[in-house]
Amino acid sequence: MEADDLRIQVAWACRILALRGHGDFTLGHVSARGSEDSIYMKRSGLGLNEVTPEDVLTIDSTGIKLEGAGQVHREVVIHTELYRARPDVGSVIHTHPPHSIALGASDAGLSLLGHDAALFKDGVGVFDDSADLITRPEQGLAVSRALGSRRAVLLRNHGVVVVGKDILWATISALTLERAAYIQAIAVSFGGLRPMTPEMAERLHPDKYPDDYMADYWQYLIRELRRQRLDHGMPEAAQP
């Protein structure tokens, strides 16, 4: 994908995440892997709901800025270390959604309570080395180890890191994780949990989450932003 298209996708992903409860002042960041070890990442100092394609920096595989105005996020090592460890990953998201934070601050894991949780049929990792900001390469490496081959990792008392093979998958996965945590919080209030079996989740997964659904979900979320007039500064065309 061309660099300009990736910048547009990163900006839309930021707006979508903000709309769905992932915003936290100017914190949180989204990136996409480009060609030749380039990474396109939201700049520091802006809320997710403010990002335009011009606010997406080009950085190298070590986190050094190559192009763009503004500062690189201090936690850039989350992105660089995950891309280094996971060649299959094309996008990394780190945000602070409330229900996922609450889940990560408890002894409970994510239960297979509904279709949302089935996206995470292989489990969700937990990083519990510390609740600090992830600013050193060795911390980023530890997060990648906690993630393993999964889609998401809960940073204990901190936030979440979600990955995908492209930015559409990463964004939908981040939204789905927060919804699954929210559903679990509701279910707990009713009493004992009745999760699906792993076999049920395995059967459900290919019908619920095929690749060709992602572009439809993405375009729906962009239409939702436009209906609410939250698309200021964004281009007319949105690349799926």
For 71-94, the pLDDT digits (tens) are 999 999 999 999 999 999 999 999
Q: What's the burial of 199, exposed, middle or buried (CB within 10 Å: 0-12/13-18/19+)? A: exposed
H or E segment to which residue 163 belongs:
strand 159-164
Tell me if 57 is assigned to some domain: yes
For 203-239, the pLDDT digits (tens) are 999 999 999 999 999 999 999 999 999 999 999 755 5
- pLDDT of residue 127 exceeding 90, the answer is yes
| Percentage of the chain exceeding pLDDT 90 | 96
Tell me if 216 is assigned to some domain: yes
Are the C-beta atoms of 122 and 150 separated by less than 8 Å? yes
Tell me if 21 is assigned to some domain: yes
Instruction: Determine the 3-state secondary structure of 185 from DSSP.
Output: helix
Tell me if 186 is assigned to some domain: yes
- pLDDT of residue 36 exceeding 90, the answer is no
Tell me if 239 is assigned to some domain: no
For 99-124, the pLDDT digits (tens) are 999 999 999 999 999 999 999 999 99
Q: How many folded domains does the chain comprise?
A: 1
- pLDDT of residue 10 exceeding 80, the answer is yes
Single-letter residue type at 183 = I
63: Cβ contacts below 8 Å, ≥ 6 apart: 72, 76, 77, 79, 80
Tell me if 233 is assigned to some domain: no
Angle 3-19/211-227 helices, nearest 10 degrees?
A: 70
Q: What is the CATH number of the domain that holds 57?
A: 3.40.225.10
Domain extent at residue 21 = 3-227
Mean pLDDT of the chain, nearest integer: 96
- Residue ranges of alpha helices (H) inside 105-231 are 115-118, 137-147, 167-190, 198-208, 211-227
Please give the pLDDT value at position 164. Answer: 98
Compute the distance between CA of residue 85 and CA of residue 142 in angstroms, rounded to an integer: 11
Other beta carbons within 10 angstroms of residue 236's beta carbon come to 6
Tell me if 52 is assigned to some domain: yes
Please give the pLDDT value at position 237. Answer: 58
Tell me if 208 is assigned to some domain: yes
Are the C-beta atoms of 89 and 163 separated by less than 8 Å? yes
**N-terminal to C-terminal alpha carbon distance within the chain:** 11
Please give the pLDDT value at position 240. Answer: 60
